[in-house]
A and B are shown apart, each in its own frame.
Chain A
Amino acid sequence: MKPINEMNVSFFSRSSNEGFARAAVAAFAAQLDPTVDELSEIKTAVSEAVTNCIVHAYRDTIGIIYIKAQIYEDGRLVIRVRDKGCGIENVEQAMEPMFTTGGEERSGLGFTVMQNFMDRVRVLSHVGKGTVVTLYRTLESRPVGND
Protein backbone atom coordinates (compact mmCIF):
# COMPACT_ATOMS: atom_id res chain seq x y z
CA MET A 1 0.00 0.00 0.00
CA LYS A 2 1.20 3.48 -0.86
CA PRO A 3 1.00 6.35 1.62
CA ILE A 4 -1.50 9.11 0.87
CA ASN A 5 0.83 11.67 2.40
CA GLU A 6 4.46 11.82 3.43
CA MET A 7 6.89 14.26 5.03
CA ASN A 8 10.63 14.18 5.47
CA VAL A 9 12.75 16.26 7.77
CA SER A 10 16.41 16.12 8.79
CA PHE A 11 18.31 18.12 11.37
CA PHE A 12 21.50 18.20 13.47
CA SER A 13 21.57 16.02 16.57
CA ARG A 14 21.46 19.00 18.91
CA SER A 15 19.29 18.57 21.99
CA SER A 16 17.54 21.86 21.23
CA ASN A 17 15.94 20.04 18.27
CA GLU A 18 14.07 17.52 20.48
CA GLY A 19 11.13 19.89 20.86
CA PHE A 20 11.21 20.80 17.18
CA ALA A 21 11.15 17.15 16.08
CA ARG A 22 8.12 16.08 18.15
CA ALA A 23 6.24 19.27 17.24
CA ALA A 24 6.94 18.75 13.51
CA VAL A 25 5.63 15.18 13.56
CA ALA A 26 2.62 16.21 15.67
CA ALA A 27 1.77 18.98 13.20
CA PHE A 28 1.91 16.47 10.34
CA ALA A 29 -0.11 13.85 12.25
CA ALA A 30 -2.75 16.47 13.08
CA GLN A 31 -4.34 15.96 9.66
CA LEU A 32 -5.46 12.51 10.82
CA ASP A 33 -7.60 14.38 13.35
CA PRO A 34 -6.14 12.61 16.39
CA THR A 35 -7.43 13.07 19.93
CA VAL A 36 -5.39 15.13 22.38
CA ASP A 37 -4.27 11.89 24.06
CA GLU A 38 -3.23 10.26 20.78
CA LEU A 39 -1.22 13.31 19.80
CA SER A 40 0.47 13.47 23.17
CA GLU A 41 1.46 9.79 22.96
CA ILE A 42 2.84 10.22 19.44
CA LYS A 43 4.88 13.24 20.57
CA THR A 44 6.28 11.27 23.50
CA ALA A 45 7.30 8.29 21.34
CA VAL A 46 9.00 10.56 18.78
CA SER A 47 10.78 12.42 21.57
CA GLU A 48 12.15 9.11 22.86
CA ALA A 49 13.43 7.97 19.47
CA VAL A 50 15.02 11.33 18.66
CA THR A 51 16.59 11.71 22.10
CA ASN A 52 18.20 8.28 21.66
CA CYS A 53 19.88 9.47 18.45
CA ILE A 54 21.24 12.53 20.26
CA VAL A 55 22.27 10.83 23.51
CA HIS A 56 23.41 7.41 22.26
CA ALA A 57 23.88 7.21 18.48
CA TYR A 58 25.87 10.44 18.20
CA ARG A 59 27.13 10.41 21.78
CA ASP A 60 30.27 12.53 21.35
CA THR A 61 29.59 14.07 17.97
CA ILE A 62 26.96 15.93 16.02
CA GLY A 63 25.33 13.92 13.26
CA ILE A 64 22.18 14.11 11.20
CA ILE A 65 18.83 12.68 12.27
CA TYR A 66 16.31 11.80 9.56
CA ILE A 67 12.57 11.51 10.13
CA LYS A 68 10.07 10.24 7.59
CA ALA A 69 6.39 10.25 8.50
CA GLN A 70 3.68 8.66 6.37
CA ILE A 71 -0.09 8.56 6.49
CA TYR A 72 -2.03 5.67 4.95
CA GLU A 73 -5.63 5.59 3.80
CA ASP A 74 -6.68 3.28 6.66
CA GLY A 75 -5.63 5.86 9.28
CA ARG A 76 -2.23 4.34 9.90
CA LEU A 77 0.65 6.62 10.82
CA VAL A 78 4.19 5.35 10.26
CA ILE A 79 7.14 7.31 11.63
CA ARG A 80 10.71 6.33 10.83
CA VAL A 81 13.55 7.85 12.85
CA ARG A 82 16.99 7.11 11.44
CA ASP A 83 20.57 7.90 12.44
CA LYS A 84 24.01 7.07 11.08
CA GLY A 85 25.52 6.74 14.53
CA CYS A 86 27.18 3.98 16.54
CA GLY A 87 24.42 1.37 16.18
CA ILE A 88 23.15 -1.09 18.80
CA GLU A 89 25.04 -4.30 19.49
CA ASN A 90 22.13 -6.21 21.06
CA VAL A 91 18.72 -4.77 20.16
CA GLU A 92 16.76 -7.23 22.29
CA GLN A 93 18.73 -6.28 25.38
CA ALA A 94 18.53 -2.56 24.56
CA MET A 95 14.73 -2.79 24.48
CA GLU A 96 14.46 -4.36 27.93
CA PRO A 97 12.91 -2.04 30.52
CA MET A 98 15.56 -0.24 32.62
CA PHE A 99 18.46 -1.26 30.36
CA THR A 100 20.68 1.73 29.67
CA THR A 101 24.24 2.48 28.67
CA GLY A 102 23.61 6.14 29.37
CA GLY A 103 24.59 6.39 33.03
CA GLU A 104 22.97 7.92 36.10
CA GLU A 105 20.37 10.26 34.68
CA ARG A 106 18.93 7.87 32.04
CA SER A 107 16.04 5.68 33.09
CA GLY A 108 16.37 3.03 30.38
CA LEU A 109 12.65 3.35 29.69
CA GLY A 110 12.69 5.00 26.26
CA PHE A 111 11.84 1.86 24.29
CA THR A 112 9.29 0.83 26.94
CA VAL A 113 7.51 4.16 26.52
CA MET A 114 7.59 3.83 22.71
CA GLN A 115 6.13 0.31 22.94
CA ASN A 116 3.41 1.39 25.34
CA PHE A 117 2.34 4.40 23.33
CA MET A 118 2.51 2.95 19.82
CA ASP A 119 0.93 -0.15 18.26
CA ARG A 120 4.28 -1.51 17.14
CA VAL A 121 7.95 -0.54 17.32
CA ARG A 122 10.52 -2.00 14.96
CA VAL A 123 14.25 -1.53 15.45
CA LEU A 124 16.89 -2.28 12.85
CA SER A 125 20.50 -1.57 13.74
CA HIS A 126 24.00 -2.19 12.49
CA VAL A 127 27.01 -1.47 14.69
CA GLY A 128 29.06 1.34 13.19
CA LYS A 129 26.37 2.11 10.61
CA GLY A 130 23.35 3.33 12.50
CA THR A 131 19.82 2.60 13.62
CA VAL A 132 16.30 2.84 12.21
CA VAL A 133 13.38 2.95 14.63
CA THR A 134 9.94 2.65 13.03
CA LEU A 135 6.86 3.57 15.02
CA TYR A 136 3.40 2.38 13.91
CA ARG A 137 0.12 3.76 15.18
CA THR A 138 -3.37 3.49 13.73
CA LEU A 139 -5.56 6.41 14.76
CA GLU A 140 -9.18 5.85 15.68
CA SER A 141 -10.32 8.87 13.74
CA ARG A 142 -10.01 8.84 9.96
CA PRO A 143 -8.94 11.59 7.60
CA VAL A 144 -12.03 13.31 6.25
CA GLY A 145 -10.89 13.60 2.65
CA ASN A 146 -7.64 13.24 0.77
CA ASP A 147 -7.39 16.73 -0.62
Chain B
Amino acid sequence: MGVRLTLREGTLTALLSGEIDHHCAKGIREEVDKAAGQTKPRRLVLDFSRVQFMDSSGVGLIMGRYKLMQSIGGIVILANLPEKIEKIVALAGLDRLARIERNWDHETNQ
Protein backbone atom coordinates (compact mmCIF):
# COMPACT_ATOMS: atom_id res chain seq x y z
CA MET B 1 0.00 0.00 0.00
CA GLY B 2 1.14 3.52 -0.71
CA VAL B 3 -0.20 7.01 -0.98
CA ARG B 4 1.52 9.93 -2.69
CA LEU B 5 0.06 13.35 -2.04
CA THR B 6 0.35 16.42 -4.22
CA LEU B 7 -1.34 19.80 -3.88
CA ARG B 8 -1.85 22.11 -6.80
CA GLU B 9 -4.20 25.06 -7.12
CA GLY B 10 -6.59 23.93 -4.41
CA THR B 11 -6.67 20.32 -5.60
CA LEU B 12 -5.23 17.68 -3.29
CA THR B 13 -4.46 14.49 -5.18
CA ALA B 14 -3.84 11.18 -3.41
CA LEU B 15 -2.24 8.71 -5.77
CA LEU B 16 -3.06 5.35 -4.16
CA SER B 17 -1.26 2.13 -4.94
CA GLY B 18 -1.33 -1.53 -3.94
CA GLU B 19 -4.19 -3.27 -2.14
CA ILE B 20 -6.77 -1.31 -0.15
CA ASP B 21 -8.15 -3.35 2.72
CA HIS B 22 -8.93 -2.74 6.40
CA HIS B 23 -5.26 -3.30 7.30
CA CYS B 24 -3.92 -0.43 5.21
CA ALA B 25 -6.98 1.86 5.20
CA LYS B 26 -5.89 3.40 8.50
CA GLY B 27 -2.56 4.58 7.13
CA ILE B 28 -4.15 6.08 4.01
CA ARG B 29 -6.83 7.78 6.11
CA GLU B 30 -4.29 9.35 8.46
CA GLU B 31 -2.10 10.70 5.66
CA VAL B 32 -4.97 12.08 3.58
CA ASP B 33 -6.73 13.63 6.58
CA LYS B 34 -3.56 15.27 7.81
CA ALA B 35 -2.86 16.82 4.42
CA ALA B 36 -6.48 17.87 3.90
CA GLY B 37 -6.65 19.37 7.39
CA GLN B 38 -3.54 21.45 6.74
CA THR B 39 -4.31 22.58 3.20
CA LYS B 40 -8.15 22.74 3.17
CA PRO B 41 -8.42 21.89 -0.54
CA ARG B 42 -11.47 22.58 -2.69
CA ARG B 43 -11.13 19.19 -4.37
CA LEU B 44 -9.79 15.88 -3.13
CA VAL B 45 -8.85 13.52 -5.97
CA LEU B 46 -8.45 9.86 -5.02
CA ASP B 47 -6.55 8.32 -7.91
CA PHE B 48 -6.98 4.53 -8.15
CA SER B 49 -4.94 3.91 -11.29
CA ARG B 50 -2.33 1.89 -9.36
CA VAL B 51 -4.72 0.05 -7.02
CA GLN B 52 -4.87 -3.71 -7.59
CA PHE B 53 -7.44 -4.66 -4.98
CA MET B 54 -10.15 -3.02 -2.89
CA ASP B 55 -12.84 -4.44 -0.61
CA SER B 56 -15.62 -2.71 1.37
CA SER B 57 -13.05 -1.22 3.75
CA GLY B 58 -12.15 1.00 0.80
CA VAL B 59 -15.79 2.03 0.56
CA GLY B 60 -15.65 3.11 4.21
CA LEU B 61 -12.47 5.01 3.45
CA ILE B 62 -14.10 6.90 0.55
CA MET B 63 -17.25 7.67 2.57
CA GLY B 64 -15.16 9.03 5.42
CA ARG B 65 -13.19 11.31 3.08
CA TYR B 66 -16.48 12.46 1.52
CA LYS B 67 -17.71 13.54 4.96
CA LEU B 68 -14.41 15.28 5.67
CA MET B 69 -14.53 17.22 2.38
CA GLN B 70 -18.17 18.09 2.97
CA SER B 71 -17.25 19.59 6.32
CA ILE B 72 -14.73 21.94 4.70
CA GLY B 73 -16.95 22.71 1.71
CA GLY B 74 -15.06 20.68 -0.89
CA ILE B 75 -15.76 17.77 -3.20
CA VAL B 76 -14.33 14.29 -3.80
CA ILE B 77 -13.33 12.98 -7.23
CA LEU B 78 -12.72 9.27 -7.77
CA ALA B 79 -10.27 9.00 -10.63
CA ASN B 80 -9.12 6.19 -12.89
CA LEU B 81 -11.00 3.36 -11.16
CA PRO B 82 -10.07 -0.08 -12.50
CA GLU B 83 -13.18 -1.90 -13.73
CA LYS B 84 -13.41 -4.35 -10.83
CA ILE B 85 -13.13 -1.54 -8.28
CA GLU B 86 -15.73 0.56 -10.07
CA LYS B 87 -18.09 -2.39 -9.58
CA ILE B 88 -17.79 -2.08 -5.78
CA VAL B 89 -18.04 1.71 -5.96
CA ALA B 90 -21.30 1.38 -7.93
CA LEU B 91 -22.60 -1.31 -5.56
CA ALA B 92 -22.04 1.11 -2.67
CA GLY B 93 -23.76 3.98 -4.50
CA LEU B 94 -20.65 6.13 -4.15
CA ASP B 95 -21.31 7.61 -7.59
CA ARG B 96 -23.98 9.67 -5.85
CA LEU B 97 -21.47 11.17 -3.40
CA ALA B 98 -18.43 11.65 -5.55
CA ARG B 99 -17.65 12.55 -9.14
CA ILE B 100 -16.18 9.71 -11.18
CA GLU B 101 -13.49 10.55 -13.71
CA ARG B 102 -12.26 7.81 -16.02
CA ASN B 103 -9.38 9.66 -17.62
CA TRP B 104 -8.02 11.97 -14.99
CA ASP B 105 -4.72 13.62 -15.79
CA HIS B 106 -2.55 14.54 -12.80
CA GLU B 107 -0.57 17.06 -14.80
CA THR B 108 -3.47 19.23 -15.84
CA ASN B 109 -5.80 18.36 -12.95
CA GLN B 110 -8.76 17.61 -15.18
Of B20-28, B35-43, B102-110, the one with at least 4 CB within 8 A of chain A: B20-28
How many residues of A are in contact with the other chain, CB < 8 A? 24
Interface residues of A in 109-123 (CB under 8 A from B): 109-110, 112-113, 116
Whether the Cβ atoms of A113 and B25 lie closer than 8 Å is no
Interface majority SS on B: helix, strand, loop or mixed? helix
B interface with A by C-beta (< 8 Å): 19, 21-23, 25, 29, 53-57, 59-61, 63-64, 84, 88, 91-92
Whether the Cβ atoms of A18 and B21 lie closer than 8 Å is yes
Q: How far is the CB of B46 from chain A (nearest CB, A)?
A: 15
Q: How far is the CB of A65 from chain B (nearest CB, A)?
A: 13
What are 11 of the A-B contact pairs (CB < 8 Å)? A19-B19, A44-B53, A44-B55, A48-B56, A51-B21, A51-B22, A51-B57, A54-B22, A107-B59, A107-B92, A113-B88
A interface with B by C-beta (< 8 Å): 15-16, 18-19, 22, 37, 40-41, 43-44, 47-48, 51, 54-55, 104-107, 109-110, 112-113, 116
CB closest residue in chain A, given B55 = A47
B22 contact set on A, CB distance < 8 A: 15, 18, 51, 54-55
Q: Which of B25, B55, B63 has most A Cβ within 10 Å?
A: B55
